[in-house]
Amino acid sequence: MTAAAPLSPAARATLRELADALIPGGAGQPSASTAGVADVLIDRVLAVRLKAAPSFVALLERLAADPGPGTPTERAQRLRRDHPTDFQLLAGFVVGAWQLAEPVRAAIGYPGQGPSDVTFEDETGYVTEGLLDPVLERGPRAPGI
């Protein structure tokens, strides 16, 4: 699977406007543009969402070429009302990109995904605690079958 074509400057500008309509900043959390959604962050999302990336890029290019009337918020609302699948695509990429920003993660208390150190004792503690003793004492349920 190959990467999608990069966003044009016009598409990126459109993304910046619409992303800020979705995530304008507030409650101690940065806006989409402040966080860098329309810049390096969206490129990171495009690089990992290879199946959806071409559709997303095509959508942004269409919206850039024909934005329609109104403010960015009105345009985003119209997209959500009239083309909910396209809106969900836009929203998923925007929120996904936004949460990659370290200031966002610090603001909302989300450290991101990381390794979970599971020890052998963590996984076998229920054996040493005796939880399976009745099963072990019972033995095989259907011997000889």
Partner 1 sequence: MRGTKWNLMPVGGPLFHHDLVVGGADRPWDEAWGAGFHRNLGRTFGRGFTWGIQGDDLPDEANRITLDPSTPDSDGLPGVRIHYTVSENSRRMLAWNLARVREAMAATGATETYEVPLWGTGIGHVLGTAVMGDDPARSVVDRWGRTHEVPNLYVMDSSAFVTGGAVNPGATILALALRAAEHLADERRAQATPR
Q: How far is the CB of 98 from partner 1 (least distance, A)?
A: 8
Nearer CB in complex with partner 1: 69/143: 143
φ, ψ (nearest 5 deg) of residue 25? 95, 145
Q: How far is the CB of 143 from partner 1 (least distance, A)?
A: 12
* Cα 145 to Cα 142: distance, rounded to the nearest angstrom: 6
Q: How far is the CB of 60 from partner 1 (least distance, A)?
A: 18
Structure token digits, residue 71? 């403010």
Interface residues with partner 1 (CB under 8 A) are 21-29, 73, 76-77, 80, 84, 88, 91-92, 95-96, 99, 108-110, 112-113, 145
Nearer CB in complex with partner 1: 12/78: 78
Nearer CB in complex with partner 1: 12/49: 49
